[in-house]
Structure 1
Amino acid sequence: MSDTQTLIENRPPSVAALFLERVTATPDAEAYRYPVPSASGEGPDEWKSLSWGQAAQRVYAVAAGLVELGVQPEQRVALASSTRVEWILVDLGIMCAGAATTTVYPQTNAEESAFILSDSESKVLVAEDAAQLAKARERRAELPELAHVVVIDATGVEPDAADPDGWLLTLDDLEARGAAYLEKNPQVVKERVGAIDKDQLATLIYTSGTTGRPKGVRLPHDNWSYMAKAIAATGLIGTDDVQYLWLPLAHVFGKVLTSGQIEVGHVTAVDGRVDKIIENLPVVQPTYMAAVPRIFEKVYNGVAAKARAGGNAKFKIFQWAAGVAREYAKVTQDNFRRTGVASAPFGLASKHKVADALVYSKLREAFGGRLRACISGSAALAPEIGYFFAGAGVHILEGYGLTESSAASFVNPGEAYRTGTVGKPLPGTEVRIADDGEILLRGPGIMEGYHGLPDKTAEVLESDGWFHTGDIGELSVDGYLKITDRKKDLIKTSGGKYIAPAEVEGQFKAVCPYVSNILVHGADRNFCTALIALDEPAILEWAKENGLGGKTYAEVVAAPATVQLVEGYVKELNEGLQRWQTVKKFKLLPRDLDIEHGELTPSLKLKRPVVEREYKELLDEMYAGTREG
């Protein structure tokens, strides 16, 4: 048996047990960094630290506090909060009490939050602030099981006469009660953790379905213990790393990153405020971070827009450097694949050196200057954008997984990464491609099933453990997986041609620096069309320079000059496509797509049916007067 297999197969039953091991091994080492806004509310945040020992003190107090409130093993405690250090401490506290965390996105509306709390039978809700508390109060009559609400940040929380006695408390109250309970029962946390069985429920994550009610994905303790060991076994992260964690922890991608960190024991800087990323990166100076493709697209568009604003000469230099970066990345990756050395011919290496001094070095500085790699997941990254960053020295390792597979089933292997693929399976995960191209997975990361939905579980999970992902892909001879599309998203035109919309959309994002979101449409139609939403800061900057300054976003996108601008990029896109893939017509949307309107999932994935339903008139207009069939 290899060292890797031994590491994974001899795993403890839970991450709670791993956490206790980590605290014992390195109690004084730094575990978490988190920002504290300055007292005046102006000026930069102050970053504070928690050692593993200090984190454990709070985690154990939360765990004991929950026990004191009467929470039993496997009972659900819901957590509705943005990404912050308290999220991690509370989640670990819930697990150390032997209970299970129900994750709730803070953007979820009151009706859906109530459905999740009710369906999961959550006994306690840990709410971030007054806004999250208000949702629970609004729907309290529908939640007879909900015995307590614990508020993390009590600013602006007012007492309500309608609250039952003891129903509302703060996180400080819970920790104080837990600390007092621990004094009388010092072994309670160790006993609860010691009693956890590997098949016991640890996390219930509700998938934000594109239609109907979300489904609760049941992830037992063993899923996370396996993930922690398998991530460590890849060798991608080490004890000296500093992770910058901003992804939503209610999402499986964010959650899995906390498990790997506990196993390895490195530092994680936690701050979920997306508007603070650019400000935080030079302060945190991470060695790795995870993100979704939309972030890399925004950075790329921002750099391109900044170069364009600097005048024609500056923009030409950027375009040249971007071309060199892509060529350099393709050549060095190809050479590494063939020879094991990421080399480039002398002429290309010389151009790359000049471009590095002019463009790439500044880009790396913006990421904090120490970034070894970024992990990208949740949706496909356009390869041309991936190659640009790779050539600029910001290495994006694409990975792949689903909520149902505990997030990380595949990841690109460090230096041997290949842009445009999601890498190789994690140690211990099996993959096969079905006859129709669907990716099937089996292994210790696969869910137990959908909560209370045996029929839905049976649709995707075979009795021998193979899980149907619903994604289409292909495996290279040496085991790299390429995702081509969602099975249900494949478009079949009325002419019988199959088109993968995500592939066309990704290519457009690589050619048009102003795009924010694009949806390619064409199922049962005789040609493809597109709905395009533009990136507001980038297009308003362009508008200023093109006689449209002072106009609103909606006015700018309605202007003929803007339509003409985008038309040029659509033509450029079509030149690289097969005839039946080309976008014949497009419409610019009056606003960007967003989570609030239900058009994007919290991990910024497009909800196609929602967008197509909402903009049906625009789609129909593009096909009006054409013969369908």
Structure 2
Amino acid sequence: MINATRLFDCIRVQAEAPVNNLLNAKQNGEWKAYGTAEVHDKINQLAVSLLRMGVSAHDGTTEGRDKIALICSGRPEWLITDLAVQQIGAILVPLYPNTSNKELEQILNSAEVKCIFIGNKELCSKIAEISPNVPSLKWIFSFDRVDGCKHWEELLNPFTTEEYRQLQQISSGVRADQVSTIIYTSGTAGTPKGVMLTHENILSNVKACTEVLTEIPLREKKALSFLPLNHIFEKMCTYIYLFNGFSIYYAENMDTIGANMKEVKPYIFTAVPRLLEKVFERIMQEGQKLKGIKKKIFFTAINLAEQYEIKTGWWYQIKLAIADMLVFSKWRQAIGGNVKAIIVGSSACPVRLERIFTAAKMTVLEGYGLTETSPVIAVNRYSKNQRKYGTVGPLLKGVEVKIDGDGEILCKGPNVMRGYYKDPAMTALVLQDGWFHTGDIGELDQGYFLKITDRKKEIFKTSGGKYVAPLPIENRMKESLFIEQMMVIGAERKFTAALIVPSFTNLKLWCQQNKIAYLSNESIVENPMVISFYQSIIDSYNPEFNHVEQVKKFVLLPVEWTIEGGELTPTSKMKRRVILEKYKVEIEKIYTDETNEFTVMH
């Protein structure tokens, strides 16, 4: 049971059971451990320095309190800064490192940020470019040593007894209902909205999710972190770790996750479905390279895993145990050998992947929530009777949900945000009588498991007046190994169609097996045999949907949608409006070419 009212109370909890490796990161190719005492010293030193600079809570109102921005990837300095800012009653404004200059400028001015902490040289250049347009910004510090930018260690100085007493007095006055952070969400369209989350909001999620965590059999409390810490999902999970005596290891970058897992041997980590898809893709590549009996054993194991909890009984369990010994145990060793649970959020996870990883004894626990709900509303549990594939699990303790007349999921509870910063009109639109309108369509399966069926704004109507929910179609068809990304279209059109980005890695293997020359992505999506192959994939899934939902035509695209390309949000959700605009020529061709059953991009 966590006895705390503010997020930074984790400092007191940790002091009662200090460890030598509370936070860990790579420095010059070697892991450096930061013990509890060292971390706490740095937090207090930074907090006192900020007070010396004049950063304060002022009148205590959200508008009146100073805002400190933080833009970098996950590292110990991120958390140290977060906790220092909390203790002095200021408000943290965390930002994605890949946020565009225009959006950064908007956010920094909206929040009237006074001081910003930056990760590296590249980010220093980005902030230096826009800082003249942010009049409130007084100080810029970097965690890496960068010429022309003050290093954050300049703030880590000894303090007097009187200064420490003053810090303690200020921190004791911080209330649970005060805003701790403002997280700006870019969303799939529109201007960023500043979500105001209080200590109580996030801590209620931490406490409830801790109960979920205690079900998982962990021999060591060791977690690997690689998702952006400014995303509320990763931040909230991090505070679960901090309150429960975990050692946190930060991956060097997204490309080193596999290597870092082997080194750290974590028992738990958080991920987005896209990562699991990439990991499984690599597993399948290795499987395709096998020959003879080894290849047969590999794909028999995959087939068994796909039927996990569909088939039961002693004979299935024996076959699964053999598959585990011959195949799945090697998967676990490849990521350190200790992983017991993978907590998945941000977007829908393909059920096929959930079954496969769970069958391989790396239990996937998919949850659901929004930044505005701190974030978890529901999550699948480790216990089989508290987990159901195709749903996001039972509601979190203390969280209420009701389904509105149009199917929209409404949420009420201590986790629901204070509102949008400086936007009372938008706040009033989504918060009505204490109920937060999520914008998602769903249902309570068996009255217990929450199931997301679509986004309210993404459901469209064809020109024939029929409604189509694209998300279930996309999620189902993306279970194909050959479909990397997909967007179903057809608003005010005669029929449903789709934009498809192939899984080029798997497509290359298929082309090799079928003796098709693969010269480039651009040429291969125009190949008639490839197009026919994708038509057969679509045809295999279409019967699962009613006539109006079936994909009648599609276009194969040669370039993957990315955050950098502007098609995805920083949390990897599709920006549907952007994609529609970017490919309007190809879309028009779909609906004007009446002779072809399918089309490709030229």
Asked if the contact 2:252/2:260 (under 8 Å) is kept, the reply is: no
* Cα separation, partners in 2 of 1:236 and 1:492, compared to 1, 3 Å: farther
Q: Distance in 1 between matches of 2:281 and 2:539?
A: 19
User: Which residue number in structure 2 is paired with residue 432 of structure 1?
Assistant: 402
- The amino acid across from 1:33 in the alignment is N
- The amino acid across from 1:24 in the alignment is A
How do 1:429-578 residues align onto structure 2 when only pairs under 5 Å count?
429-462=399-432, 464-510=433-479, 512-543=480-511, 547=515, 551-578=519-546
Asked if the contact 1:80/1:104 (under 8 Å) is kept, the reply is: yes
Match of 1:587 among 537, 551, 555: 555
Match of 2:369 among 388, 394, 401: 401
Asked if the contact 1:304/1:315 (under 8 Å) is kept, the reply is: no
Per-residue CA deviation, residues 458-487 of structure 1 (Å, 9 max, x unaligned), is 00001x311000011111335211111111
SS of match in other structure, 1:359? helix
Contiguous gaps of at least 5 residues in structure 2: 58-64, 596-602
User: Which residue number in structure 2 is paired with residue 3 of structure 1?
Assistant: none
Tell me whether 1:385 sits opposite 2:363 in the alignment.
Answer: no
Asked if the contact 1:376/1:397 (under 8 Å) is kept, the reply is: yes
Tell me whether 1:170 sits opposite 2:140 in the alignment.
Answer: no
Per-residue CA deviation, residues 330-362 of structure 1 (Å, 9 max, x unaligned), is 34xxxxxxxxxxxx3122122212322332222
Per-residue CA deviation, residues 346-384 of structure 1 (Å, 9 max, x unaligned), is 221222123223322222222321111111111111212
User: Which residue number in structure 1 is paired with residue 600 of structure 2?
Assistant: none
How do 1:12-411 residues align onto structure 2 when only pairs under 5 Å count?
12-16=4-8, 18-28=9-19, 30-38=21-29, 46-73=30-57, 74-154=65-145, 157-159=146-148, 168-175=149-156, 179-182=157-160, 185-234=163-212, 235-236=214-215, 240-271=220-251, 273-311=253-291, 316-331=296-311, 344-411=312-379
Match of 1:597 among 565, 570, 584: 565
Tell me whether 1:622 sits opposite 2:602 in the alignment.
Answer: no
Q: Distance in 2 between matches of 1:373 and 1:558?
A: 41
Asked if the contact 1:528/1:581 (under 8 Å) is kept, the reply is: yes
SS of match in other structure, 2:70? strand
SS of match in other structure, 1:558? coil
User: Which residue number in structure 1 is paired with residue 599 of structure 2?
Assistant: none
Q: CA deviation at 1:313?
A: 6.1
- The amino acid across from 1:507 in the alignment is R
SS of match in other structure, 1:409? strand
CA RMSD in angstroms, aligned pairs only = 2.2
Q: CA deviation at 1:229?
A: 1.7
Per-residue CA deviation, residues 493-516 of structure 1 (Å, 9 max, x unaligned), is 333433321211111121x21322
Contiguous gaps of at least 5 residues in structure 1: 1-6, 39-45, 160-167, 332-343
Match of 1:423 among 384, 393, 414: 393
Q: Distance in 1 between matches of 2:340 and 2:34?
A: 24
Asked if the contact 2:25/2:252 (under 8 Å) is kept, the reply is: no
Q: Distance in 2 between matches of 1:352 and 1:265?
A: 34
Aligned length in residues: 584
Q: CA deviation at 1:148?
A: 0.2
Per-residue CA deviation, residues 279-306 of structure 1 (Å, 9 max, x unaligned), is 1112111111111111111222222232
- The amino acid across from 1:64 in the alignment is V
Higher deviation after alignment, 202-211 or 554-563:
554-563
* Cα separation, partners in 2 of 1:219 and 1:506, compared to 1, 3 Å: same
SS of match in other structure, 1:185? helix
Higher deviation after alignment, 228-237 or 73-82:
228-237
Q: Distance in 1 between matches of 2:518 and 2:275?
A: 27
Asked if the contact 2:14/2:243 (under 8 Å) is kept, the reply is: no
SS of match in other structure, 2:278? helix
Q: CA deviation at 1:323?
A: 2.3
Asked if the contact 1:326/1:390 (under 8 Å) is kept, the reply is: no
Asked if the contact 1:410/1:425 (under 8 Å) is kept, the reply is: yes
Q: Distance in 1 between matches of 2:303 and 2:270?
A: 25
Q: Distance in 2 between matches of 1:123 and 1:610?
A: 33
Q: CA deviation at 1:311?
A: 4.8
Asked if the contact 1:75/1:122 (under 8 Å) is kept, the reply is: yes
Q: CA deviation at 1:13?
A: 3.2
State TM-score, norm by structure 1. Answer: 0.88
